[in-house]
A and B are shown apart, each in its own frame.
Chain A
Amino acid sequence: MPPLLEVDDVYAGYGPIEVLKGISLTVDTGEIVALIGANGAGKTSTLLSISGCLPARRGSMRLAGQEIHALPAHEIVHRGICHSPEGRKIFPRLTVLENLQMGAFSRRDKPGIERDLAHAFELFPILAERKHQAGGTLSGGEQQMLAVARAMMGRPKLLLLDEPSLGLAPMIVLKIFEVVRKLNDEGISILLVEQAARMALKLAHRGYVMEMGQITIAGTAAELLTDKRVQDAYLGE
Chain B
Amino acid sequence: MFPVLLAAAEAPDAWQTFLQYTLIGLSNGALFALVALGYTMVYGIIELINFAHGEVFMLGSFLALALIGVMGLEEAALWQRWLGIGLLFVVVPIFCGALNVGIDLAVYKPLRDAPKLAPLVSAIGVSFVLMNVGLLWGGAADRHFPDLVSRENLLGSEAALSFTYKDLMIVAVTVPIMIALSVFVKGTRLGKAMRATAQDPLAAKLMGINADRVISVTFAIGGALAGAAAVIYGLYINTVSYQMGFTNGLYAFTAAVLGGIGNIPGAVLGGLVIGLARAFGSGYVGERWTSALVFVILIAILVFRPAGLLGTHAREKV
Contacts and interface: CB of A to CB of B under 8 A. Distances in A.
Do A and B come into direct contact in the complex, CB within 8 Å? yes
Interface of A: 51-53, 72-74, 77-78, 82-83, 85, 89-94, 98, 101-103, 105-106, 150-151, 154
Contact of B205 (A53, A94, A150): A53
B184 to A, nearest CB: 14
A85 B199 CA distance: 15
Contacts of A102: 192-193, 196, 204, 207, 209
A81 B196 CA distance: 19
B202 A105 contact: no
A52 B193 CA distance: 18
Contacts of B199: 91-94
A207 to B, nearest CB: 23
29 contacts: A51-B205, A52-B205, A74-B205, A74-B208, A74-B211, A77-B206, A77-B208, A78-B208, A83-B206, A85-B202, A85-B206, A89-B202, A89-B203, A89-B206, A90-B200, A90-B203, A91-B203, A91-B204, A92-B200, A93-B195, A94-B192, A98-B192, A101-B192, A102-B207, A103-B207, A105-B208, A106-B207, A150-B207, A151-B206
Contact of B207 (A52, A77, A92, A93): A77
B115 to A, nearest CB: 12
A204 to B, nearest CB: 22
Contacts of A105: 189, 193, 207-209
Contacts of A78: 208
B210 interface: yes
Nearest to B193: A105
A98 B192 CA distance: 8
A51 B189 CA distance: 22
A53 B202 contact: yes
A151 B200 CA distance: 15
A91 B198 CA distance: 9
Nearest to A160: B206
Contacts of B206: 51, 53, 73, 77, 82-83, 85, 89, 151
Contacts of B200: 89-92
Nearest to A53: B205
Nearest to A103: B207
Interface string B178-222: 000000000001001101100110111111111100000000000
B118 to A, nearest CB: 15
Given A51-B206, A93-B195, 9 more contacts: A52-B205, A53-B206, A73-B211, A74-B210, A74-B211, A89-B203, A91-B195, A91-B200, A105-B189
